Amino acid sequence: MLQTHNRTAFTESHALFRDEVRKFFAKHLHPNLDRWERDGIVDRDFWRACGAAGLLCPTMPSEYGGLGADFGYNIIIDEEMTYAGCSAGLGLQSDIAGDYILSYGSEDQKRTWLPRMISGEAIAAIAMTEPSTGSDLQGVRTTAIRDGDDYVINGSKTYITNGQNADIVITVAKTDPAQGAKGISLILVEAERSGFTRGRNLDKIGQHCADTSELFFTDVRVPVANRMGAEGAGFGYLMSQLPQERLSIAAAAQAGAQRAFDEAVRFTKERRAFGQPVFDFQNTRFTLADLAAELQVGWAHLDWCIARHIAGDLTAVEGSAAKLWHSELQWKCCDAALQLHGGAGYMNEYPIARLWRDARVQRIYGGTSEIMKEVIGRSL
């Protein structure tokens, strides 16, 4: 269990909510996690149960069915889910997609989709990455060409979280390919549209229960009313949401780092070698002491970031720095914890194996560590 008694970003109301999240996960997540990992997808029943419990899009206003809560509630869900060893795409729905629709969607789009996303009846994805573009969003090749009152969309996307389950896809496309970044728009594509198809549920190193997919758009016709915000303003919209997206990743990374550390402490105290617990060797204690100190710093920094974001002050550079630092710490903790498990760490029956696998992508998605350094470096 995450120790949260000394956290500074949360109130008593947050603590009560965290208790409810833990109880819910104990009943609905833990008994099903191994099956989801085998199946490569999370049951839609789980999404609906999350919605009924108030665990989806809690920051959304009450007029759409949300709790009207601050972003600390989202962070609690992110932390507890990652600490549990689960990679379901709730954070994508609650921390990213919901806010895009709330911030840039029309009133009709909000009333159509937000209540369903909050209840878990609708699952959202956001289609940015393409096979040839990666982090270079300005280089997307998917097009949405105006034809009367419609857009006709052609292109492909990959590595899309919630891709198999998604009912609605926020699609990054060029409405004016000649304008580069200024020609990018965000368009809502319903999954039942003719010409929209899902490719493979991708075979990943880790995060097996996340349905990460290829998506294809072949002459997909959607009304112009499906565009979110102004035509050509999509790149700016994407950039404005990055601090929150990267803070979410940072919070999950910190929780994952803590879980790996806790597993290492537990294992080394139980496993004996050369007549004594592995924990009693100086190398073990020094390794764990180093990680404990970095985790202490990490929790303090994360709470600072959370407080700044709730106040509306977290900058893009600060969000990038948080994503960089915490995701790198997660990898350091997971790799060191696996090493302290010895040969057992390489066995899938031990939680550290899943934690280690799941952690690797944290330094890639949401902007690679190298991109984070570039963002920070440009600000100096």
pLDDT confidence of residue 72 = 98
Every domain of the chain and the residues it spans: 12-122, 125-233, 241-378
Instruction: For tokens 């997919």, name the residue.
Output: 213
Q: Where are the alpha helices (DSSP H) in 71-227?
A: 71-83, 90-91, 98-104, 107-119
Q: Tell me which residue has tokens 């974001």.
A: 309
Alpha carbon separation from 251 to 9, 78, 322 (Å, rounded): 12, 7, 9
Architecture of domain 241-378 in this structure: Up-down Bundle (1.20)
23 burial type by CB count under 10 A (0-12 exposed, 13-18 middle, 19+ buried): exposed
Domain 12-122 fold is Butyryl-Coa Dehydrogenase, subunit A; domain 1 (1.10.540)
Backbone angles phi, psi at 335, to 5 degrees: -70, -40
**CA neighbours closer than 13 Å in the CB half-sphere of residue 157:** 30
For residues 251 and 61, what is the distance between their CA atoms, to the nearest angstrom?
23
Catalytically active residues, by annotation: 245
pLDDT (0 to 100) of residue 222: 98
pLDDT at 140: 92
Taking the C-alpha atoms of residue 40 and residue 209, their distance in angstroms, rounded to an integer, is: 4
Residue 304 CA to its chain's centroid (Å):
20
3-state helix vs strand vs coil in the chain, percent to 5: 55, 15, 30
What tokens were used for 106?
């029309």
What is the architecture, at CATH level 2, of domain 125-233? Beta Barrel (2.40)
Contact 153, 144 (CB under 8 A): yes
What is the C-alpha separation between 223 and 189, in angstroms, rounded?
Answer: 10
Q: Give residue 177's pLDDT.
A: 93
| CA 106/CA 109 separation, integer angstroms | 5
Give Cα separations from 80 to 18, 49, 222 (angstroms).
8, 16, 38
Q: What is the pTM of this model?
A: 0.95
| Predicted pLDDT at 209 | 96
User: Mean pLDDT per 10-residue run, the chain (380 residues)?
Assistant: 91 97 98 97 98 98 97 98 97 97 98 98 96 79 97 97 98 94 96 97 97 98 98 95 96 98 98 96 98 98 98 97 98 98 97 98 95 96
Exposure of 211 by Cβ count < 10 A (0-12 exposed, 13-18 middle, 19+ buried)? Answer: buried
Which residue intervals of 341-360 are DSSP H helices?
A: 351-359
Task: Please tell me the predicted confidence (pLDDT) of residue 132.
Answer: 78
